[in-house]
Every structure is written in structure tokens, then in C-alpha cells.
Amino acid sequence: MYSEKVMDHFMNPRNVGEIEDADGVGQVGNAKCGDIMKMYLKIEDGVIVDAKFKTFGCGAAVATSSMATELIKGKTIKEAEMITNKAVMEALDGLPPAKVHCSVLAEEAIAAALQDYRARHGLDSDSTYEGCSGCCGGCGRLDQHDENNGE
């Protein structure tokens, strides 16, 4: 059912915890499945130098959070903005259709943390994820997420 990479990131998650002096913090959740992700970013000179997460949810939610933090570390803000749920799933060698929503939450957690960073630093805002609390289509990005997200 789950790939070896998903199981590895679930059993041995990377970057769990908080960054006390985080430059950006984003929390997203999906009332349908009950998963909640909170992501913390440390950004220096436009580069994400550290990322941590706290997730309440299933094994796939933990694995996608873990992989998302691995994917964004060392990336510029613009590069991190380009990381999609599909990229998270590919890095994990796939997810079952009913768990694709976890990768969507990981993408949204990255975006929410970057949005918070922009707000804290008076930078131009990306309103794509404002008010988004899960992939219900309310943020207008549903068409960009995997068609088989199981919802």
C-alpha cells in the first residue's frame, strides 16, 4: 500500500519540531480527514536554511510533512513556491489515491509559512492560500492539485 520511502519518512520523520525564532510559520488543516500541519521556516538572504514541522494526522500526513521540509531546505523562496503536491508525492514514490490530500496539505503548509514570512517582512503578498484550510477548492487551486486526490 505505501512505498518504502513513505514508510521511512513516517517511521523516521526528518525535521520534526519547532523553530523558536522562525521567520515564517504556517498551519493548515483539513476538517474532512482531521490532519493538521504546522510548518516553521528559517530564512536567510532569501534562502530557506531550516524547516521544521509538527503534524497531527495519519502516517501519510507525517511522511508528506517530513518530505516537504526536506524538499524546501536550501531552496530560495521562489523555488520553494514551485514545489507542488505532485513533487512531494513523486519524492515519496507515490501515495495511495485516498492519501493524496496529505500531499496537498504539505504544499499548502509551505505556502502558508511563506505567506507568513512575507507578511512579517512587509513583502509583496501572494494571496493564493489566504484563508485556505485544506483542499476544498476554496483557494482556487483545486485544478492544480492531483485529479485523483481521493476527496
Tell me what pLDDT residue 125 has: 58
User: pLDDT band for position 19 (50/70/90)?
Assistant: very high
Domains of the chain: 4-140 (3.90.1010.10)
Give the three-class secondary structure for 25.
Answer: strand
pTM of the model: 0.81
Closest CA to 56 of 35, 39, 38, 40: 35
Tell me the per-residue pLDDT of 30-77, one tens digit each, with 9 for 90 and over: 667 689 999 999 999 999 999 999 999 999 999 999 999 999 999 999
Q: How far apart are CA 85 and CA 82, in angstroms?
A: 10
Q: Assign residue 45 a region: left if phi > 0, alpha if psi is -120 to 50, beta otherwise?
A: left
Q: Of the residues 58, 102, 132, 136, which is catalytic? A: 102
Amino acid at 85: N
136 is catalytic: no
Asked if residue 53 lies in contact with residue 69, where contact means CB atoms within 8 angstroms, the answer is yes
Kindly name the residue from 33, 132, 135, 139 that is annotated as catalytic: 33
Does 58 participate in catalysis according to the annotation?
A: no
Q: Give yes or no for residue 131 having a pLDDT over 70.
A: no
